[in-house]
Amino acid sequence: MTEDFYKAFFRRSATDKELVLVGRLSLLGVSLIALYLALNPNETILNLVGYAWAGFGSAFGPVVLISLYWKRMNKWGALGGMITGAVTVIIWEQIKAFDEIYEMIPGFIACTIAIFVISLLSKKPDPKMEAEFDEAVKQVS
């Protein structure tokens, strides 16, 4: 840690005594983080990664899938869906009564509904865009 990180990025002329101190402080910092994670099992890295994936999946999953199959989707539907999915995940995580249901499920559903509703209520995509969509479908078929 001291040679590869501290000396390489922060202070190339660090003395051996300084490197030992930085090494000890780094070890103390890593130990405190490990202790915190051990004492708070609900805040593990696995839970944080699961929460992040729920946000990504809810915000982007429906947008990608619907954009492949529905030419009526527009930028406002995509943007509204992404925001709705992400916000749903954040709110769902804060409401502890709903802990049994993984937050990606309601986020994915809310994003999908928002995409359809907002796309239908807003302006149709440009005819050039629809023509490109039709051409892409022909090439894949």
- Residue 130: pLDDT band by 50, 70, 90 thresholds? confident
Instruction: Tell me the average pLDDT of the chain.
Output: 88
Domains held by the chain: number: 2
More confident residue, 36 or 97: 36
Same domain assignment for residues 57 and 126: yes
**What phi and psi values does residue 76 have, to the nearest 5 degrees?**
-70, -35
Give per-residue pLDDT as tens, 7-47.
Answer: 777 888 888 898 899 899 999 999 998 888 778 776 677 77
Domain that holds residue 27: 2-39
Same domain assignment for residues 49 and 34: no
Same domain assignment for residues 24 and 74: no
User: Are the C-beta atoms of 89 and 109 separated by less than 8 Å?
Assistant: no
Same domain assignment for residues 25 and 49: no
User: Are the C-beta atoms of 107 and 85 separated by less than 8 Å?
Assistant: yes
Same domain assignment for residues 31 and 50: no
Q: CA-CA distances (angstroms) from residue 79 to 14, 72, 118, 138?
A: 49, 14, 9, 27
Same domain assignment for residues 94 and 60: yes
Same domain assignment for residues 20 and 50: no
User: Are the C-beta atoms of 107 and 58 separated by less than 8 Å?
Assistant: yes
Same domain assignment for residues 81 and 116: yes
Same domain assignment for residues 91 and 117: yes
Same domain assignment for residues 27 and 47: no
| Tokens 């796309």 found at | 119
Same domain assignment for residues 85 and 111: yes
Give per-residue pLDDT as tens, 57-72.
Answer: 999 999 999 999 998 9
Q: What is d(CA 78, CA 115) in angstroms, rounded to the nearest whole number?
A: 6
Same domain assignment for residues 24 and 77: no
